[in-house]
Amino acid sequence: MTGHWLNKAALGSIYFFGLSTLARPIFGGMGAILMLHRVRPTEVDDGFAPNAHLQVTPKFLERIVVSLARAGFAFVSMDEVAARLSGESAGRSDFIAVTLDDGYRDNLEYAVPIFQTHKVPYTIYVAPGLIDGKAELWWEDLEAVIRRRSSFLLESPKGNIRFEVGSASEKRQTYAELLAFLTTKVDEDEQRRIVRHLNWQRGFDPVARCREEIMGWAEIGGLAEDPLCTIGAHTIHHFALARLEAERAADEIEQSARIIELETGKRPRHFAYPYGYPAAAGPREFAMAKAAGFATAVTTRHGVVTAAHGEHMHALPRISLNGHFQQRPYLYAMLSGLPARLANRGQALNVG
């Protein structure tokens, strides 16, 4: 929580002291790619919401769309982003491309009507495994186990480990500890096995959760017919690719495009790396996405898009519409490019 307040203070200062206005012509680049996950009305915050950063309200999304349009930004598709970076298109306005990861059903219910009302192109990156029930929303499944229990046991080679999670603070601490363990100390397959076992042990069905939360192929196919919509690929099983062996990682990238083409009749031209931070996707994965024939690939590395990204179209940064930062000044501060430039120690690119 302290980190959120410090970031809010920094971003607020950049905006309210006019630094974003001064910095944008220097550091703002050509535009930005916005990243969303869930779009739905705010739920009650009981002090334990570890995935709240992945959710914004429809009201906030529409307010931002209207504000950016009034500020003179041009909403464009990812095809247009690729065209501008390659020099095939010479748009005059700073662009905004809207992207949504994972294919949550609430995107269809709450976000798509906003995009259609305001004629905003949007890209939804989908992982076939999430649609088919062969992968899980394990980060939400882990939250569900901790939320609904006052204590639970985790099996380990050294015996069962008991976690006491009766209070909100205990739940937050346990989630953070297990998240770090699952993303750094065990491989991707073991990660899923552990969380799946915890859910089945407590009577929760992770497959049913996925089917409830993620759109089916009929819904994805319907969106693919929307002229405003682009369906992109997001691997098959939503793995952190850098933690897989090379052949398996390449297969996750290439085969996700093949499956989406079979299901929708359209081969995706754009890709998003699951998680997308440096430990999950790096130069090896960037080369794989390029070899698979994608025109662009997006990360979760923070930043605006610059002309220099024309040489790195498979390592594009995005700006997260983060559930903890649902105020216009925070976004405009990030669009100035100054926060990313400071975080990158003055470098325009973060592609290593």
pTM of the entire predicted model? 0.96
Domains in the chain, please, with CATH? 2-135+228-343 (3.20.20.370), 138-208 (no CATH)
In eight-state DSSP terms, residue 22 is: H
**Per-residue pLDDT at 169 exceeds 80:** yes
Segment 238-248, tens digit of pLDDT: 999 999 999 99
Segment 248-275, tens digit of pLDDT: 999 999 999 999 999 999 999 999 999 9
Q: Over pLDDT 70: what percentage of the chain?
A: 97
Segment 207-229, tens digit of pLDDT: 899 999 999 999 999 999 999 99
Q: Tell me, what's the pLDDT at 44?
A: 60
Distance CA 194, CA 300 (A): 25
- What contacts 35, CB < 8 A, 6 or more positions away? 99, 100, 101, 298, 300, 318, 319, 320, 321
Pairing relationship of beta strands 161-164 and 151-154 according to DSSP bridges = antiparallel
Sign of torsion, CA 352 81 98 19? positive
Q: Tell me, what's the pLDDT at 1?
A: 55
In residues, how long is the chain?
A: 352
Distance CA 206, CA 224 (A): 27
Q: Give the CA radius of gyration of the chain.
A: 20
Using CB atoms within 10 Å of the CB of residue 84, give its burial: 0 to 12 exposed, 13 to 18 middle, 19+ buried. buried
The full DSSP string for 203-260 is T--HHHHHHHHB--HHHHHHHHTSTTEEEEE--SS---GGGS-HHHHHHHHHHHHHHH
